[in-house]
Amino acid sequence: MRLHPEQIQKISKMVLKKIKGSGYVTFKVSEEKIFEKIVGVITKNMFEESKLDEEAQKKMDQARSQIKSGDLDEHRAFQMIKKQLAKEKKFVL
C-alpha cells in the first residue's frame, strides 16, 4: 500500500496523540522530535516494502512462463512470492 506524504503526516499525528494520551509514557524529548521519528519509521517501512515489491516482481518475471502454463494467476503468485520474501526477511506486512 502506497501512502502519500500527507497521509504519513496524518497517521503520525494520530499515533503521537494516542501515545501522548495513553498516560503510560513520559517524553524526554520534544513532541516534534518524536513526531519526526514516527514519520521516519513509517517512511522507512514504506521504502522497505517498496523494495520487497521490486524483488517480488523480479522473481515474478523469472517465473512468468511457469505461471502462465499453470492455474495460478499473476496477482496471486505475486502475493505469494511477496509473502515468502517478507517471511525470509522477517518483514511484517
Determine, yes or no, domain membership for 37. Answer: yes
pLDDT tens-digit readout, 3-33 = 999 999 999 999 999 999 998 999 999 999 9
Cα dihedral sign for 18, 22, 28, 30? positive
Domain residue limits at 46? 5-88
Q: Give residue for cell 502475493.
A: 79
> Of 92, 85, 9, whose CA–CA distance to 53 is shortest?
85
Query: Considering the domain boundaries, does residue 93 fall inside one?
Result: no
Q: Specify if 35 maps to a domain.
A: yes
Domain tally, the chain: 1
C-alpha cell at 24: 503510560
pLDDT tens digits, residue range 21-70? 998 999 999 999 999 999 999 999 999 999 999 999 998 888 777 766 66
Return the sign of the alpha-carbon dihedral for residues 71, 74, 76, 81. Answer: positive
